[in-house]
Amino acid sequence: MSSLAKVAEARSSPVLTVSQLNRTVREMLEGGLPVLWVAGEISNLTIAASGHCYFSLKDATAQVRCVMFRQRAALLPFRPKEGLQVEVRAVTTLYEARGDFQLGVETIRLAGLGALYEAFERLKSKLSAEGLFDAARKRQMPAMPRTIGIVTSPAAAALRDVLTTMRRRNPAVQIVIYPTQVQGDAAPAQIVAALSTANRRAEVDLLIVCRGGGSIEDLWAFNDEAVARAIAGSLIPVISGVGHETDFTIADFVADVRAPTPTAAAELASPSRADLRFQLDGLAMRLRREWSRQWMLRSQRLDFAARRLLHPGERIARQRRMMEDLARRLQMASSRQLERRRAALTLVSGRYRHVRPDAVNLRRHLQGLASRLRTAANAGLQRRLGALEVLSSQLQALNPDAVLSRGYARVETARGELIKQAATLHRGQSIRLHFADGSAAAAVTSAPGPQGELDI
């Protein structure tokens, strides 16, 4: 009554207006009582056009008026109806305009579900702390499963929806059903046994655990800890398709993939044959384009290589022309060498005529030398022509050291300079003679004579 006393004290008269009284009572109710959970049966339910809900909450001996405004009513997972046993979370208040005591309802849950919600949250927190909900442990779904296992009741409507969807999307996928109850006290143990059987047989690539929608009691088997651990420990990837889109169970959190409905689980598990055909057509088109591009590229490279490639006949003709040119050059070199030797022979013959007056013998001797020279020159020419044919394949026809193998020697100074005339030498000079099989050092012991002869 302290609030009333304050009001009376604030005014000089102890008499209050109705508005003042109702306001004071409302403040006392709202400030003196905490937010409460109140259980009862819904009656006199009215849902206004504005979306606000007005109803009475009653038990066997009493009732209280309740109001739930549109914003909070829209968040309810179910639609309130007459006779429904519920538990409301509300603030005690007073409607000042009529002086009606009422509850301002914040949320409503079905009666008896409070303990279930608390158990659900406890198990959820426990398993989450153990890491069973972590995305890192979730396994990738097989892109092309050949066999899919379904853990559900054979009589469930959800099974028919799943089979219809999978038959429509990809009838080639094989189905293995692991029958189990999905509701009731015996359901958790049977679900665990079905998951164990599927893992032991290892005959499917993917498992779907599913059932249709229902109340939280109907779906409670999928909030069982043993079921959750069996799904988390499955060696086969698991899709959870339990209830409707707004329903969440512990199985949804531990499964590798959560589907909002059993039908959605079937769509996630089975690849669409139409989609696969579309993808295959796209890949085939890309393959044809790539093959065409590669074919054009290879054709261009082949044409480019063909332009650079010489016909074997043309290559042989080029080599034949090169060998003929080499033969002409060799013949011309041999002719020039023969002319030089003839000139040298004539010079020597003239010198001999001056030194030896026996012209007849000298002429006879010269004729013999000339004959021998021609014979030797012809023989040398024939040898060179023969060697040219051999060297045409070995590309060594012009090896200058080959001359040394026929008994000639190359004379060089000690510094490696070639000596062409005897007149350039002097007594005591060091020289080096190069033969076909090696070289030797020598020294000039006499000055060159009138005919260019010298001793070494």
For the segment 76-130, what is each residue's pLDDT rounded down to a tens digit? 878 888 888 888 999 998 888 888 899 999 998 877 665 677 788 889 999 999 9
Predicted pLDDT at 234: 94
Q: What percent of the chain has pLDDT over 90?
A: 30
Distances (CA, A) of 136 to 139, 249, 272: 8, 20, 27
Predicted pLDDT at 376: 82
Residue 234 CA to residue 140 CA, distance in Å, equals 13
For the segment 253-267, what is each residue's pLDDT rounded down to a tens digit? 999 999 999 999 999
| 31-45, 139-153, 417-431, range with the lowest pLDDT | 417-431
Q: Which residues pair with 95 in a beta bridge?
A: 100
- pLDDT class of 216 with cuts at 50, 70, 90: confident
Residue 217 CA to residue 34 CA, distance in Å, equals 30
Q: Do residues 96 and 133 make contact, with C-beta atoms less than 8 angstroms apart?
A: no
Place of tokens 């090896």: 399
141 burial via Cβ count (<10 Å: 0-12, 13-18, 19+): middle
Question: Who's near 108: CB < 8 A, 6+ residues apart?
Answer: 68, 76, 80, 86, 87, 88, 89
The arithmetic mean of pLDDT across residues 426-452, rounded, is 79
| 33-47, 107-121, 224-238, 393-407, range with the lowest pLDDT | 393-407
- pLDDT class of 397 with cuts at 50, 70, 90: very low
Residue 181 has pLDDT above 50, yes or no: yes
HSE-CB of 450 using CA atoms within 13 angstroms: 5
Residue 282 has pLDDT above 50, yes or no: yes
For the segment 296-328, what is each residue's pLDDT rounded down to a tens digit? 888 888 877 777 776 777 778 888 889 988 888
- Token pair for 37: 């959970």
Predicted pLDDT at 1: 47
| 6-10, 196-200, 244-248, 315-319, range with the lowest pLDDT | 6-10
Predicted pLDDT at 353: 64
Q: Do residues 227 and 221 make contact, with C-beta atoms less than 8 angstroms apart?
A: yes
Predicted pLDDT at 416: 80
Predicted pLDDT at 84: 83
Predicted pLDDT at 225: 94
Angle at 150 between CA 147 and CA 155, to 5 degrees: 135
Q: Do residues 140 and 203 make contact, with C-beta atoms less than 8 angstroms apart?
A: no
Residue 329 has pLDDT above 60, yes or no: yes
Q: Would you tell me the crossing angle of helices 312-355 and 359-394 to the nearest 10 degrees?
A: 160
Question: Who's near 448: CB < 8 A, 6+ residues apart?
Answer: 422, 423, 425, 454
- Token pair for 69: 């405004």
Q: What percent of the chain has pLDDT over 70?
A: 90
| 153-162, 196-205, 325-334, 362-371, range with the lowest pLDDT | 362-371
Predicted pLDDT at 316: 85
Residue 153 CA to residue 176 CA, distance in Å, equals 13
For the segment 22-40, what is each residue's pLDDT rounded down to a tens digit? 888 888 887 778 888 999 9
pTM: 0.45
Q: Do residues 154 and 180 make contact, with C-beta atoms less than 8 angstroms apart?
A: no
195 burial via Cβ count (<10 Å: 0-12, 13-18, 19+): buried
The identity of residue 54, as a single letter, is Y
CATH of 140-271, one of 3.20.20.140, 3.40.50.10860, 2.60.40.1890, 3.40.50.2300: 3.40.50.2300
Residue 44 CA to residue 21 CA, distance in Å, equals 28
Residue 420 has pLDDT above 50, yes or no: yes
Mean pLDDT of the chain: 84
- Token pair for 174: 């094989």
Q: Do residues 88 and 107 make contact, with C-beta atoms less than 8 angstroms apart?
A: yes
**DSSP-derived secondary structure letter, 136:** G
Residue 4 has pLDDT above 90, yes or no: no
Residue 3 has pLDDT above 60, yes or no: no
For the segment 343-365, what is each residue's pLDDT rounded down to a tens digit? 888 887 777 666 655 667 778 88
Predicted pLDDT at 66: 95
The arithmetic mean of pLDDT across residues 47-73, rounded, is 91
* Residue 375 DSSP SS3: helix
Distances (CA, A) of 311 to 298, 320, 344: 21, 14, 50
The arithmetic mean of pLDDT across residues 198-206, rounded, is 94
The identity of residue 91, as a single letter, is V
Residue 333 CA to residue 327 CA, distance in Å, equals 10
Show me where the domains of the chain are located. 2-111, 140-271, 310-398, 399-456
Predicted pLDDT at 6: 54
Residue 285 CA to residue 297 CA, distance in Å, equals 18
C-alpha closest to that of 174 among 152, 205, 209: 205
Predicted pLDDT at 455: 64
Residue 424 has pLDDT above 90, yes or no: no
Residue 207 CA to residue 197 CA, distance in Å, equals 12
The identity of residue 31, as a single letter, is G
Predicted pLDDT at 355: 62
Percent helix / strand / coil, the chain, rounded to 5: 50, 20, 30
H helix intervals, 255-272: 262-269
CATH domain 2-111 topology: OB fold (Dihydrolipoamide Acetyltransferase, E2P) (2.40.50)
H helix intervals, 109-219: 113-129, 157-169, 187-201
Predicted pLDDT at 151: 95
